[in-house]
Each structure stands twice: as structure tokens, then as C-alpha cells.
Amino acid sequence: MKRNWITQDSKPCITIALSSEATPQERYAASELRNYLNYITSSSLPMGDEDTPGPVIAIGKAAARLGVIPDEGLGDDGFTLRTVGDSLAIVGGKRGVIYGVYEFLEKLGCRFFTPKCEKIPSLPTLQMPQLDDTQVPVLEYRYHNYTDFVRYPRFAVKNRINGPVPIKEEFGGHLSYVWFVHTFEPCILNPEEWFDEHPEYFSMVDGRRIKERTQLCLTNPDVLEIAIEKVKKALRENPESRLISISQNDWYNNCTCPECRKIDEAEGSNAGSLIWFVNKVAEAIEPEFPDVIVDTLAYQYSRPAPKYIRPRRNVCVRLCSIESCFTHSFETCDDETRKVKRPDDTTSDFITDLRDWAKVCDRLYIWDYTTCFAHYPAPFPNWNVLQPNMQAFVRNNVKGVFEQACGAIGGSTDLNELRAYLIAKLLWDADCDYDRHMHEFLDYYYGAAAPYIHQYIKTLTDKVERDNIHLGFNDQCDRPHLTEEMLDIYDRIFDQAERAVIGDPIRAMRVARARLSIRWVRIKNNAMLKNKKNPAEINQFFSDWHAHGLTRIDEWVSKETTHRALIENLWRGTEYYENWWEEGREEL
């Protein structure tokens, strides 16, 4: 059998071919391929064009010489890898051609675990594998906001994230929003500006129009006209974006005026008047913006699907799981407290709402939650539900998923690097080999400590499953899987992990960082449940937290405010404010 070589004894046997008319994305893909192949083989592979003789790895348009043309079905994100004789073709859409290169490198043994941790094999003699692989993701929109992916866009590309990370066009670009979410107040009608003269534009609650924490009156014709004009203006000013959100503010108080209530009661859901309104806006802008998608939320009071009204073809509904339990899959959780009310006071659970929206909406997106936002370091034992939940999304016609994560600029603990990596894999392929990806990450990232980190994960998940412990997205640290007895068990596992990496300073640092989760919960619970505070222990924790480059402990306040709350026996620093968001977003 003929053996086709990329290199032999670090000597190049193949050329990377790029068309003279290559796109910027194809040029970037070829550059990345060359760089990594050079690392793998300790050689310097030559670059050529579509006329270069001999065996080639042909990127994008250059693959036409091998008879491989990208299929229209690949879209922006799909790709094909195909061996042709002693050559290889890598073709794909705008982002797909780049993803194809990274897929090829992964088939050679590369792994892109974090921006600062990549596994690159050393293979001076490298054979060309036989390939015929086409991949097109089910999810057109794939996004999570773990800091490694937001701060390092090129790393996000390696893991095929295409949501609103600021990814340059050269690197494939991203799906961008003009307005993101909760846009009624800041983007359409600010009550500080409009309410005094036009209270009828805003929610009627308990028989009166309200100014504070209000929503819009969605059946008011003036509100509709104002929204249409503002949406058109925003889209004209942002021609590169094809998504715009028209969505309720981040609180309740939907309008219950006679006209809004009439629609909602007929539809059996408070999403009725919302979809009616969004449909009207989407219809009005479609002639000028035929490719724009108008996005809205199915969130809290609007979570259940309406009975009759259907979102237009250019409307996207983003269903939010905020009330859900995150230690059991959506399909198996038996916690009755997680349901939401319909207008007739009947209730609906999340999986029912997901299935109902799937029947009526052609473009369904998800906003899901993957951490404890009140206490970022707290162990969040959702490891066993990440894959079944993603599979449930895909089975139910979902086309886009945002997994909201720890948004702290400095990142956090709770094995977030692993969780970020696994979620990215699931966003690309919900049926991927999840266990293999987890073990590959643990083995390389934690080295000799990997078995103990895995034991820690299993101990957490076994506890919540055995005792049927339900966790939300914002719980305090006084939960049954975080008792003193359980913390002692976790600490003994971390003792073993730390001993395993003595003499391996990089992995010892990673284990110490992961252990901060247990340290935080113990300190917080001692203060809140026992009124027991050890100043030296507290100061050492915050010193170590800072030394690891970590910033916020709570989503909405600084670590300094969190420290003050700890000293003053408050669960969260947000308790100092009338509104939880008042301290503002984090800045370095």
C-alpha cells in the first residue's frame, strides 16, 4: 500500500496550496495549518498556489484542482475534508474552512483546551490520513461567555464558537446583534423620557400604568410605530448585523390592559401579545431588511408558548431556562417548584415549553445557565446534565444556544476551563463523545492529579443524584451537597490531587486554583451559618484569589463588595443596593 507523507524525518513531502483568489479566511486557515504542522513535525512546510505540482493540502478555492468544490449545504460553518490520491482538500464556508483546518489538526492529535494550554504532538514523520469527512453543525448560533472565549477570540474560533465574541472577519467573523436582550427600556422607550406625557405606552399592572420596572404596552399603536422606526434606524446604522432583539426588560410586570390581556388569555400565554407585537415589527422591516432576524425572549412570564399565533419566518424566539433545576436534566427533573404560570393560573415546566415552542417556531434559540451567579466559585454539579440537555435542544428544533457562564473578566474556579471546553464541544455536536473529551482535558490539564479531579466531579454529581438535590442558578452556599461533612470529603480528594502534582508547578497551580471553590464555600458558610470568621483565613483566600488573576466572586458586585458582605454577614453584596445591577458591569 502506498504511504502518503506530510513529512519524513522533519523534511516536507507536501505543499500547502492556496488560490491566488483566496479569501481572507482561507489565507488565515492556511497560515494556521502551516504553523501547527510546523510545530508537530519540526519542519517548515512550503506554501504554493493552485498550479503548484505534486501532492498538496489544498485550502478553499485551491481544492478545485482536486475536484473538490464546497457544497452549498455547508453554509458558513460547514466543511469537508477529503483525501484525493496523495493530496488533501479542505473546503468550507466562511468560517467552515477555518474549522476544517482545526478538525484536521485534531485528527492528527492536537487539542485546544484553553488559550494557554494546547496539546501539540511531536511527529517528525507524519503520514497523511485517509479522510472523507463532512460536518455541518445543527446549531447555527453557538455561544458561551466564559472569559477564555471572550478575551481570546482566536481561541473561540478553534472551538467553533460563532456568537457575539468580537471575532474579526479574517478569522471568520461572528453572528452579531444590533441590540442584544432586555431592550424595551434602553432601546425602544425609556420611561424616564416618555412616561410622564405618555403613561399609556407602558405596562398596566393591577389597574394602573407603572413607571418603575415597567414593560411596554404591546397593543398601543404608537408604541408599535416608535419601535419600527427605532429598529430601522438601528439596522441602518449597523448594516453588518443580521440579528436584533426586541425583548422584555429583566423583570416581571407585563402589561395587563384590556387589549393586551385579551390576546394573552386567548393564547393561553403572556407570550401572545409579545409575539403579536414582534411579528408586526418584523413584517414592517422585512422589505428593507430581508435577511435580518428579529429576536425576542420567551422568559419568565412569557416562557410558555402561545396556542395559535405563530412567529413569522424572520422572527427568532429565545427560550430561557432561568427557573429550572440544573442538577437534573430538563427531561427528568421532578421539582414541581420550577414551573411558571400561564394567564389562567395553570402551570408549565420547562421541557413542556421547549416542546411546545418547537412545534410553532421555525427558528428557536435557547438561553441556558451553567454556573452559580451569586457565588461563582461554588461547586455547580451540572456535569451530568450538560449533554442530555443539549441533546434535548437539538431534538426539539433548536437552532441556536447561548450557555450563560461565569462572566467575570478574570474567570473563576469550579473547573470552569473544563466546563467551557466541554460546552463548546457540545455546541458543535450534541452527540459527541463527552466522556472522552472530559478525560482528554483532565489528563493533560491536571496531569497526575487528573484521577482525583475526576473523583471530585463524580462525588459531587453522585451526591446530588443520590439525594435528589435540586439547584437553581443563583443559590447560596448552604445546600446539601456543600455541608461541612461533604466539604471534608472534597478536601480529602484535593489533598490527594495536590500530593500527586508535587514537583509539577504548572499543574500544582491549576489544582490550587480549583481548590479555591471549596475554600470559598467553607469560609462563607462558617460566616453565615456559624457566625464564625477567621480573619487570617479570609485574608489569605482573597490574596490567593487575586494572585490567580481572579476578579468577581459574584456576578454583579466587585470582590471588594463581596468581601464587605462576608465581614458583615450578608449572603451577597447585591444586598447593599435597591436594584441588584446598580454597581454596574465589571471593568478592569
All three cell numbers of 326: 440544573
Cβ–Cβ under 8 Å, residues 414 and 379: yes
Cβ–Cβ under 8 Å, residues 189 and 216: yes
Question: In the predicted model, is pLDDT for residue 1 greater than 50?
Answer: no
**Which of 449, 458, 584, 428 has its CA nearest to residue 509?**
449
- Mean pLDDT calculated for residue range 23-48: 98
Rounded CA separation 367/306 (Å): 19
Cβ–Cβ under 8 Å, residues 581 and 556: yes
pLDDT of residue 77: 98
Cβ–Cβ under 8 Å, residues 58 and 51: no
Going from N- to C-terminal start, the domains of the chain cover 5-136, 177-314, 444-576
Cβ–Cβ under 8 Å, residues 527 and 562: no
For residue range 8-24, list pLDDT tens digits in order: 999 999 999 999 999 99
Question: In the predicted model, is pLDDT for residue 411 greater than 90?
Answer: yes
For residue range 267-322, list pLDDT tens digits in order: 999 999 999 999 999 999 999 999 999 999 999 999 999 999 999 999 999 999 99
**Which of 541, 514, 521 has its CA nearest to residue 456?**
514
3-state secondary structure of 88: strand
pLDDT of residue 3: 64
- Mean pLDDT calculated for residue range 339-353: 96
The residues, ordered by sequence, that sit 6+ positions from 319 with a Cβ below 8 Å of its Cβ are 298, 299, 303, 353, 354, 357, 364, 365, 366, 367
Q: What percentage of the chain carries pLDDT values higher than 90?
A: 98
The residues, ordered by sequence, that sit 6+ positions from 402 with a Cβ below 8 Å of its Cβ are 141, 143, 144, 145, 163, 318, 365, 366, 367, 368
In CATH, the number for domain 5-136 is 3.30.379.10
Mean pLDDT of the chain: 97
pTM: 0.97
- Mean pLDDT calculated for residue range 498-509: 98
Rounded CA separation 541/283 (Å): 55
pLDDT of residue 2: 47
Strand partners, 79: 92, 135
